[in-house]
């Protein structure tokens, strides 16, 4: 049987919840022990999330994210937080394959979340809007006992054209019926990834009063995230999740963060999901 596994942001938390516009952790219901596992599963849910209105902001907002997930056996997966991917290598310890993710654009008058309910900011006025970006790439995941290591590397097009990578180490466990996952995470990116979000050209400097800035690549953020999942019967579940990240030097060097933001970023939310299943 496929185990009941919580998934973690970016991102988010980020984008991780944070960089991806704060994509939520889904509440994925457990499979009934002893019953056949359907070939296809569809999980429908929603997650209210409190987080900075854009990465690096010192203002917080509430977003309500819809969450739609489709899985085919333990091979194909598709969702906004996890992207679209396929386990080309799929063993008890290793999963490797292609992956495509979306990174929500950043709106000049509201922030990074297209699902913001409250908490719009004026901290981005004069910087313009960053378009939606697609990020094709690949992933590798290694499981050994209660430890999971996952790495992703992607190249953007649209809103940015840089390279971005995520590395996470998770401790997985269970207390009674509650599953949990907690551990550190790291995001890095090239200058062409960071420039649209944290660089400031001459036009933007004139409109905002911020000093011109050319973004450099490096560590984007380093932090810790976790999730706990409570099953509600065999089809529904609730997930509570939170994360704390410190922005890396390339972001802290930006006048946007120095004058209008903060390097410590906290996010938290609760998700609900209901699963349907069918076989061919």
Give ∠ CA 249-255-256 in degrees, rounded to 5. Answer: 95
In this structure, is residue 272 part of a structural domain?
yes
In this structure, is residue 176 part of a structural domain?
yes
In this structure, is residue 3 part of a structural domain?
no
How many folded domains does the chain comprise? 1
In this structure, is residue 14 part of a structural domain?
no
In this structure, is residue 30 part of a structural domain?
no
Q: Mean pLDDT over residues 17-34, rounded? A: 46
In this structure, is residue 173 part of a structural domain?
yes
Please list, in sequence order, all residues whose beta carbon lies within 8 angstroms of the beta carbon of residue 123, skipping any fewer than 6 positions away.
53, 54, 57, 59, 256, 260, 261
Would you place residue 77 in the very low, low, confident or very high pLDDT band (cuts 50, 70, 90)?
very high
What's residue 26's pLDDT? 47
* Region of 73 on the Ramachandran plot (φ > 0 left; ψ -120 to 50 alpha; else beta): left
Whether 256 has a pLDDT exceeding 70, the answer reads: yes
- CATH number reported for the structural domain that contains residue 195 in this entry: 2.40.160.40
**Domain housing 223:** 40-278
In this structure, is residue 13 part of a structural domain?
no
Q: What are phi and psi of 191, to 5 degrees?
A: -65, -35
In this structure, is residue 15 part of a structural domain?
no
pTM for the model: 0.85
């Amino acid at each position: 049987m496929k185990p009941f596994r919580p998934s973690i942001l970016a991102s988010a938390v980020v984008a991780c919840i944070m960089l991806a516009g704060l994509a939520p952790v889904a509440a994925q219901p457990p499979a009934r022990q002893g019953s056949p596992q359907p070939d296809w599963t569809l999980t429908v849910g929603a997650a209210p999330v409190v987080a900075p209105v854009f990465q690096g902001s010192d203002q917080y907002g509430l977003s309500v994210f819809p969450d739609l997930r489709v899985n085919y056996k333990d091979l194909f997966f598709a969702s906004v937080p996890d992207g679209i991917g396929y386990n080309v290598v799929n063993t008890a310890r290793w999963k490797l394959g292609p992956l495509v993710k979306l990174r929500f654009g950043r709106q000049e008058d509201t922030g990074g979340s297209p699902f913001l309910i409250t908490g719009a900011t004026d901290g981005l006025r004069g910087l313009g809007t960053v378009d939606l970006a697609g990020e094709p790439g690949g992933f590798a995941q290694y499981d050994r006992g209660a430890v999971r290591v996952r790495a992703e590397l992607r190249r953007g097009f649209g809103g940015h054209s840089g390279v971005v990578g995520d590395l996470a180490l998770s401790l997985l466990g269970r207390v009674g019926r509650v599953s949990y996952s907690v551990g550190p995470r790291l995001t890095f990116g090239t200058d062409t990834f960071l420039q649209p979000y944290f660089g400031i050209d001459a036009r933007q400097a004139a409109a905002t009063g911020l000093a011109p800035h050319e973004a450099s690549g490096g560590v984007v953020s380093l932090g810790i995230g976790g999730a706990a999942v409570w099953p509600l019967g065999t089809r529904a579940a609730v997930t509570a999740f939170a994360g704390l990240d410190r922005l890396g030097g390339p972001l802290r060097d930006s006048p946007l963060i120095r004058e209008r933001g903060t390097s410590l970023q906290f996010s938290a939310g609760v998700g609900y999901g209901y699963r349907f299943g069918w076989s061919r």
